Amino acid sequence: MKASFDRDPMFLLHDVARIMRTKFDQRAREHGMTRAQWVILLRLERQPGMSQNEMAAVCEVEPITVARLVDRLERCGMVERRPDANDRRINRLHLLPAATPLLREIGTYRDQMTSELLDGLDGPELDAFVDVLLHLKSKLTAEGASAPKLQLAGE
């Protein structure tokens, strides 16, 4: 038996992700930035020295889009491009100290949203929820599932 539209897990997952992206978009705009710029900052915090092409794959956008986003972040003094030691055609992206306060703000907002969204779920429910998400992620990033881009996005 098919789940009703309002209980269909795939539609619900899509809707929750869309609403979360919208809320992060709104918050980023309050700082004169975009969610895409925030994603770049967060990724560089976790993976310093990514190339622009690697970042484009993770963000699922074209390299020129990442280049423009990084241009803006460079102008704000939050990111710098450094030449790759082995390939002069590649620029490696690195955070600058000016990004630290904004990264703290993003982390605080993320923690608040997580707390609000998960309020009322007890330990076993939360564990089961995370297990389901990990299962879905594993299935989507399994071998053969559009390999490099999805594998990068899945870390």
What digits encode the pLDDT tens for the residues 98-120?
A: 999 999 999 999 999 999 999 99
Among 102, 112, 113, 101, CA closest to 37 = 102
Coil/strand/helix, residue 17: helix
Residue 79 reports pLDDT greater than 70: yes
Q: Residue 119: helix, strand or coil by DSSP?
A: coil
Q: Residue 50 is inside which H or E element, if any? A: none
**Mean pLDDT of the chain, nearest integer:** 89
Average pLDDT over residues 119-130: 92
145 CB-near residues (< 8 Å, 6+ apart): 139
Domain 5-119 fold is Arc Repressor Mutant, subunit A (1.10.10)
Q: Label residue 73 exposed, middle or buried (CB < 10 Å: 0-12, 13-18, 19+).
A: buried
Q: What is the pTM of this model?
A: 0.80
